[in-house]
Amino acid sequence: MPDSALEFTPAPLTSLSDDEVLFRDNVRQFAEEKLRPLAKDMDEKGTFESSLIEQFFQLGLMGIEVPEAYGGAGGKFFEAIIAVEELSRADASAGVIVDVQNTLVNNALTRWANAEQKKRYLPRMVSDTVGAYALSEAGSGSDAFALQTRAIKHGRDYLLNGRKLWITNGKEAGLFILFATVDPAAGYKGITAFIIEKDFPGFKVGRKEDKLGIRASSTCELILEDCRVAEQNVLGEVGKGYKIAIETLNEGRIGIGAQMLGIARGAWELASHYAQERKQFGKAIAEFQGIQFQLAEMATAIEAARLLVYNAARMKDAGVPFVKEAAMAKLFSSEVAERVASKAIEIYGGYGFTKDYPVEKYWRDSKIGKIYEGTSNMQLATIAKLILRDN
C-alpha cells in the first residue's frame, strides 16, 4: 500500500481549516486501519460488515450536520463531503453508506421534518439507525416523477402500494424517506414524501441486487402492500414531495462527486506506488516518460475534480446557489474516476486485470458514478439549462 510520501493530496492544506484537517486525518486513519483491510472480503461477499457501521455511529459520521440538540455533531456539509471522500478512497461502498445517511436522509429530515418528527427521528439517525432514500422505480429513473407508488388516504392514515428499486442501504436501513403520489392526475404536484420505519405493517425489503461495483453496499427492492403510514409521518406538506426530492438530490450530487473523487485518489495512489516498484528493462516503470505522463494527467484530472467538488460544497455551506456547480462536480468527477481507475489497471498491466490486485475494484466501483443520483446526461441537461438561462 502507498506510504505517506506517496499519498496524493491534490489540494494544498491551506484550502482546509485546522479543524477540517484534523477531521480529515481522523477519518483517513480510520479508513486505513479499520476499513481497507475488510474491503476486498466485503466486495467478494457482497455484504457490508455490521461492526463498521457501528463504528460509523461511534465516530459521529452518521450525523455530521445534525444539530447538537438532537445528538449530532452540528458540523458543516463540507465535513460530510470530506468524510465521503476519505472513506471512498479505501472503499466506495462505505462512502455511499455515509453519503446517503448525511446528504439525503438526514438532510431531508433536518430541512423538512416538523418539530415532533425531528425529536422522534434525528436522535436515532445519529445513534443507531441507518437511513435510505426511496425514490426510484422500475419505470421512473431519470423521469423520477413518473413514479407509480400510490398513497391513498384511509382515515387518519395512508395506505401505500407499489415497488421501489435500486434503493441504497435498503438491507441495513431502519428508516426510509419514501416518495409516493396521492393523486396521479396531479402529476408532480401529487408527489408526497413519507417517513417509513422498517417494521411498519405492509412494508418489506425485497431482493438485493447483485452488482458490478460497490458490491458491499446493499441495493434493494422495496415492496409496499397496503403499508399503513400515519398522517403524522408525512414529511413536509402533502403534494410537495417533488420539492424535497429535487432539493435533496441537488446536495446529494456533491456527495457522489466526493465518492468519485475518493475512488480516483485511491486508484492513483496505488498506480503511483506500483509504478515505482515494478521493474522492466532494468528500471522502475515510473522512470519511463510514458508512465510519468499518464500519472501526471491522472493527477491533474483529480485536482480539477477536487476543486469542483470542494467549491460546490463550500457554496452550499455559504447559502449561495450551487445547483449548476453540483451538477458539474458530479459529472466531471464520475468521468475522472472511471478514467483514472481504468488507467491504473493499465499501469498494473496483466496484474491489474486480476482480482488479486485492488485496482480493478476501483474501476468497477467508479462506473456507478455516471448512473445514480442523476445520470451524466441529466447533469448535462441541468448544466445546459442553467448556463443558457444566465447568459
Contact assessment for residue 226 and residue 202, using Cβ atoms and an 8 Å cutoff? yes
C-alpha distances in Å from residue 140, one per residue of 33, 91, 137: 40, 29, 5
> What 8-state DSSP symbol labels residue 374?
S
- The H or E element containing residue 263 is helix 241-277
Contact assessment for residue 261 and residue 305, using Cβ atoms and an 8 Å cutoff? yes
Q: Is 207 helix (H, G, I), strand (E, B) or coil?
A: strand
Q: How far apart are CA 152 and CA 349, in angstroms?
A: 57
Please identify which of the residues 86, 221, 251, 373 carries the catalytic annotation.
373
197 counts as catalytic? no
Cβ neighbours, 10 Å, residue 41: 11
Q: How far apart are CA 73 and CA 57, in angstroms?
A: 11
Q: Which grid cell is 340?
A: 483514472
If phi over 0 gives left and psi between -120 and 50 gives alpha, with beta otherwise, what is residue 156? alpha
DSSP letters, 141-180, are: SSSGGG---EEEEETTEEEEEEEEEEEETTTT-SEEEEEE
* C-alpha triplet 54, 370, 325: angle, nearest 5°: 90
Cite the active site residues: 373
